[in-house]
Amino acid sequence: MDSLLIRGGVPLHGTVLISGAKNAVLPIMAATLLTSEKCVIHRAPKLTDVTFMGDILKSLGAEVEVEENTITVQAARLTGTGDYDLIRKMRGSLCILGPLLARLRHARVSLPGGCVIGSRPVDLHRKGLEGLGANIRIEGGYVVATAPQLIGGDIFLGGRAGPTVLGTANVMMAATLAQGTTVIESAACEPEIIDLANFLNAMGAKITGAGSPTLRIQGVEQLHGAEHEVIPDRIEAATFAIAAAATDGEITLKGARPDHFGAVIDKLREAGVRIDRSGPDLIVKRGSELRPVDVTTMPYSGFPTDVQAQMMVLMALAQGTSIMTERIFESRFMHVSELARLGTDIAIEGPSAIVKGGRPMSGAPIMASDLRASAALVIAGMVASGETLVNRIYHLDRGYENIDTKLKQLGANIERVQEM
């Protein structure tokens, strides 16, 4: 297993190119199962999660070719019996449920267990697909779905924590080939849902309202092949912006879509970080003393849960107290105990973390627990004095394309080593 050895104290400087979005490319890859024709996906990030998804599609009978950042998929014939060990490994694979059900009228997908960020229920996926006439049962740890035919309906997808991103993706994909019209209320509004709807429409689907809480999908007989460029990763862009501010550097984000992470930009500005547009690029630098700000995670267009851990590191550097409240996943504070090893003062009270900022951080061996927590620990390592060893960084490779190479190009003193 790899670790990252970081020598902190070097401000980041230079330009970084933002990759395609992980959480957009995964459902888009799943959507290629909806047609027997060839689909071409550009700006696909090279990530282990993307490789897994490619392997899952292959195990279902699709032909998958990857050339640099372009993925070509043709699911001419599908077997419907995928490699369940693979499917079990990645929660994102849940989004093959909708396409398989639409194309084959049956699907069997491993039920995602709880994970370190909290329990991961599937009740809304189930409710949505049942609303299209599918029969869903949980059997031996799998979600087993069958539907002699799918019929459009009115479906309310709001849950305890608001809308569901992959649930919306699943129901939207299944509804493209259902008879009649489906209306999803309380749909997720994330840019990744808009990107998926754009891809589906390019395949011949009839979807309107993507990006709003009401999605209308008029079912069609069949879909055809399409070519698509994935949106840039807003979470990667936000992570690099925070890294620049945390290290007191100045970086240019190339290819980012500021309109996709407005809530993060707003909070960073409130915290004293300067973010300026320069043509299509964004320039990020710490403008003045960092100020503590309170942050509550919310569904889009609120502050994303996927940036909570990184923002917490920045708040640990600001003089004063800030409160970070996690409203999407109930135990997404695994990074707090690891950050404590570096000298931070953060207390968890219910869904909130009370960050008493301004304590000096010094390097230590720490352990990554999930993807975004890992990114936060890397940022903390770049700030802490001395050496920080971040163990178990396979999480990072799941979701950040070449993160160590990109950070090195920005001047970070970071090296991939074999875990001891």
Residue from 26, 132, 174, 290 touching ligand EPU (CB under 6 A): that is 26
Residue from 122, 217, 251, 284 touching ligand EPU (CB under 6 A): that is 122
Residue from 305, 308, 310, 388 touching ligand EPU (CB under 6 A): that is 305
Q: Is there binding between residue 98 and ligand EPU (CB under 6 A)?
A: no
Q: Is there binding between residue 45 and ligand EPU (CB under 6 A)?
A: no
Is 121 or 225 the residue whose CB approaches ligand EPU more closely? 121
Q: Interface residues for ligand EPU in 226-255 (CB under 6 A)?
A: none
Written as six digits, the tokens of 395 are 């999480």
**Least gap, CB of 279 to ligand EPU (angstroms):** 29
**Least gap, CB of 301 to ligand EPU (angstroms):** 12
Q: Is there binding between residue 306 and ligand EPU (CB under 6 A)?
A: yes
* Residue of 39, 95, 115, 189 marked active site: 115
**What is the radius of gyration, based on Cα positions, of the chain?**
21
As beta bridge partners, residue 303 has 297
Residue from 10, 87, 124, 379 touching ligand EPU (CB under 6 A): that is 124
Query: What's the count of helices (H) and strands (E) in the chain, helices before strands?
Result: 14, 23
Instruction: Report yes or no: 309 and 116 within 8 Å, Cβ to Cβ.
Output: no
Calpha distance 404→412 (Å, rounded): 9
Calpha distance 386→209 (Å, rounded): 51
**Least gap, CB of 61 to ligand EPU (angstroms):** 23
Written as six digits, the tokens of 45 are 């990030």
Q: Is 189 an active-site residue?
A: no
**Least gap, CB of 277 to ligand EPU (angstroms):** 26
> Which helix (H) or strand (E) is 68 found in, with range?
none
Buried b (16+ CB within 10 A) or exposed e, 240-253: bbbbbbbbebbbbb
**Least gap, CB of 70 to ligand EPU (angstroms):** 21
Q: Interface residues for ligand EPU in 362-381 (CB under 6 A)?
A: 371-372
Instruction: Report yes or no: 188 and 163 within 8 Å, Cβ to Cβ.
Output: yes
Chain CA centroid to CA 192, Å: 9
Is 22 or 285 the residue whose CB approaches ligand EPU more closely? 22
How many residues bind to ligand EPU according to rule CB under 6 A?
24
Q: Check whether the bond before 385 is cis (ω within 30° of 0).
A: no
Calpha distance 85→93 (Å, rounded): 11
**Least gap, CB of 358 to ligand EPU (angstroms):** 28
Using alpha carbons, list the distances in angstroms from residue 389 to 311, 363, 394: 20, 8, 14
Interface region with ligand EPU, contact rule CB under 6 A, candidates 115-123, 148-156, 208-216, 280-288: 115-123
Is 339 or 361 the residue whose CB approaches ligand EPU more closely? 339
Interface region with ligand EPU, contact rule CB under 6 A, candidates 117-125, 253-261, 309-317, 357-365: 117-125
Is 26 or 265 the residue whose CB approaches ligand EPU more closely? 26
Residue from 9, 121, 258, 302 touching ligand EPU (CB under 6 A): that is 121
**Least gap, CB of 114 to ligand EPU (angstroms):** 10
Is 192 or 404 the residue whose CB approaches ligand EPU more closely? 192
Build a one-symbol-per-residue string for 142-181: x at contacts with ligand EPU by CB under 6 A, - elsewhere.
-----------------xxx--xxxx--------------
Calpha distance 72→196 (Å, rounded): 16
Residue found under tokens 């050895």 = 5
Q: Interface residues for ligand EPU in 283-302 (CB under 6 A)?
A: none
Is residue 317 classed as helix, strand or coil in its secondary structure?
Answer: helix
Residue from 329, 333, 374, 377 touching ligand EPU (CB under 6 A): that is 329
Calpha distance 40→309 (Å, rounded): 34
Is 22 or 108 the residue whose CB approaches ligand EPU more closely? 22
Using alpha carbons, list the distances in angstroms from residue 202 to 25, 128, 186, 368: 15, 23, 24, 39
In order, the DSSP letters of 82-125 are --HHHHHH-GGGGGGHHHHHHHHSEEEEEPP--BTTB----HHH
**Least gap, CB of 372 to ligand EPU (angstroms):** 5
Enumerate binding residues for ligand EPU (CB under 6 A). 23, 26, 91-92, 120-125, 159-161, 164-167, 305-306, 328-329, 371-372, 399
**Which residues carry out catalysis?**
115
